[in-house]
Amino acid sequence: MGDGIWTGYCFVDTYFQSGDERQCVEDYCDRGMQVDPFTTGKHDADMPILNPDDYFLISLQHQLVVFKDEWMNTAQRFKERVETYVDEFDFALASKESQQPLAWLRHARRKLTELVVCLETTIDCWDNFTYPDHMQTRYGRQSMVSIEQTFAEVRNCLKELYHIRTLCDEHERSLNLHNIDEQYRISRMQAQVAESTQVLSCFLLYVVSPITLAAAILSMQEEAIPDFLGPTKLSFFLLTPMLILLVSLVARLVQHWDKVQLYMSHPGNWVQGRKKDVNLGIV
């Protein structure tokens, strides 16, 4: 094949604009001057560009402007949606059990990754394009300069997509850290509640219960009360500490019941275990 023969490929895309803004051949034929649709109406169709190199590059130059505008519009829409989501996000309403906030964020990031891969592939394709010096013309060089400027803007658009994806990642990390802090706060509150409950239980067991039991004993009929006690204040004040001591001993016995059983079954083993605990500093 000679230098004057080029192979062109036509790719039909879906426009993001509304129906009345889509390009079609009829739009360029209804005007007084017949214009070339491939150059988006920038050149007169009655005065065609005969050099295939120049025609390809000029058509590519104008079509890439449409391509660039669509990508910039897409990046801007994503940026607005993600920034609005991040700015209006309420961490107080987000919980670790609810995956809905992360679902939207991960869906947006997945779409951004698809866009980034697509745009990177397109840019790499252009970077691999070569325009030999012996084929260059004045119009071709002008188109190449314009195309390079367009791809410079497209690369900025790619950086914007990277930035938006990074924003998604940072927000997800912030949400995960918030969930960790919230879980730690809840655990600490539960520990405080458990500690308070334990203190209250000990107070009821070691103080309130003996006092109640002493009052109940001294409130029985006089014949049922032991001889050494009587329904007097002195008896109450003597009986209460005794019951508190008794309850403490019983609680201590229950707490160390395993060791008591070990001692009852094998006294020698218990003594050796006790010496080992003392040597290790365990009381």
- Structure confidence by residue, pLDDT tens digits, 217-239: 666 656 655 655 656 666 666 66
User: Does residue 36 fall inside a structural domain?
Assistant: yes
Instruction: Give CA–CA dist 38/45, Å, rounded.
Output: 10
Of 28, 108, 123, 19, nearest to 68 by C-alpha is: 123
Asked if 94 contacts 183 with a C-beta cutoff of 8 angstroms, the reply is no
pLDDT tens-digit readout, 119-160: 999 999 888 887 777 667 888 888 889 999 999 999 999 999
Which of residues 145 and 270 earns the better pLDDT score?
145
Is-contact 218 225, C-beta < 8 A? Answer: yes
The pTM of the full predicted model, rounded to 2 decimals, is: 0.58
DSSP labels, 89-142: --GGG--SS--HHHHHHHHHHHHHHHHHHHHHHHHHHHHT----GGG--HHHHH
**Distances in Å between the alpha carbon of 59 and those of 6, 8, 54, 81, 121?**
13, 11, 8, 34, 21
pLDDT of 66 strictly over 80: yes
pLDDT at residue 162 tops 90:
yes
42 bridge partner residues:
none
Q: What is the mean pLDDT of residues 41-63?
A: 75
- The Cα angle at residue 88 between residues 111 and 171, in degrees rounded to 5: 50
d(CA 173, CA 190): 26
> Distance (Å, rounded) from C-alpha 23 to C-alpha 21?
6
237 in a domain, yes or no? no
Q: Of the candidates 208, 230, 210, which has an alpha carbon nearest to the alpha carbon of residue 219?
A: 230
Rg (CA), the chain: 43
Q: Residue 273 is encoded by which pair of tokens? A: 């275990």
Structural domain total, the chain: 1
Question: What pLDDT shows up at residue 1?
Answer: 37
Determine the structural domain holding residue 162 and report its residue range.
19-190
Q: What are phi and psi of 194, to 5 degrees?
A: -65, -40
Domain assignment of residue 66, yes or no? yes
On whether residue 43 sits in a domain, the answer given is: yes
Residue at 230 is within a domain: no
232 occurs within a structural domain: no
Q: Does 281 map to a domain?
A: no
- What 3-state class would DSSP assign to 35? strand
Q: Which residue has the tokens 């040597």?
A: 279
8-state DSSP, 44: B
**Residue 14, domain member (yes or no):** no
- pLDDT(4) > 60: no
Question: Which is more confidently placed, 254 or 172?
Answer: 172
Helix axes 138-203, 100-127, angle to 10 degrees: 160
